[in-house]
């Protein structure tokens, strides 16, 4: 039987002045986090980590690089 996502959380944050939504869930022993740009909701990054904090921190760091790369061209 396939594993089911657990411990789902969703919250909105500001990254480099841009609204963003973090979505995190646990699947087995790993946490997965995605960051999207709220409107229109395109996913910017997806990462995994051994803890919720690790996954969210890595996702925010990568999203920050994406926002900076996009806005400073």
Per-residue pLDDT tens digits for 44-54: 999 999 999 99
Burial of 57 (0-12, 13-18, 19+ CB in 10 A): middle
Please determine, looking at this structure, whether the domain spanning 6-71 carries the CATH number 2.50.20. Answer: no
CA–CA distances in Å: residue 12 to residues 20, 28, 39? 6, 25, 12
Confidence of residue 26 (pLDDT cuts 50, 70, 90): very high
Q: CA 44, 70, 62 angle in degrees (round to 5)?
A: 40
Q: What is the pLDDT of residues 62-73, one digit of tens each?
A: 999 988 877 654
Return the pLDDT at 8: 97
Burial of 58 (0-12, 13-18, 19+ CB in 10 A): middle
Q: How do strand 30-36 and strand 18-27 relate by DSSP bridges?
A: antiparallel
């Amino acid at each position: 039987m396939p594993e089911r996502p657990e411990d789902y959380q969703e919250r909105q944050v500001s990254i480099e002045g841009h609204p963003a939504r973090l979505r995190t869930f646990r699947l087995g022993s790993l946490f997965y986090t995605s960051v999207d740009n709220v409107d229109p909701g395109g996913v910017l990054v997806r990462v995994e980590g051994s803890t919720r904090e690790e996954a969210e921190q890595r996702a925010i760091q990568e999203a920050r690089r994406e926002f900076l790369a996009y806005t400073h061209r």
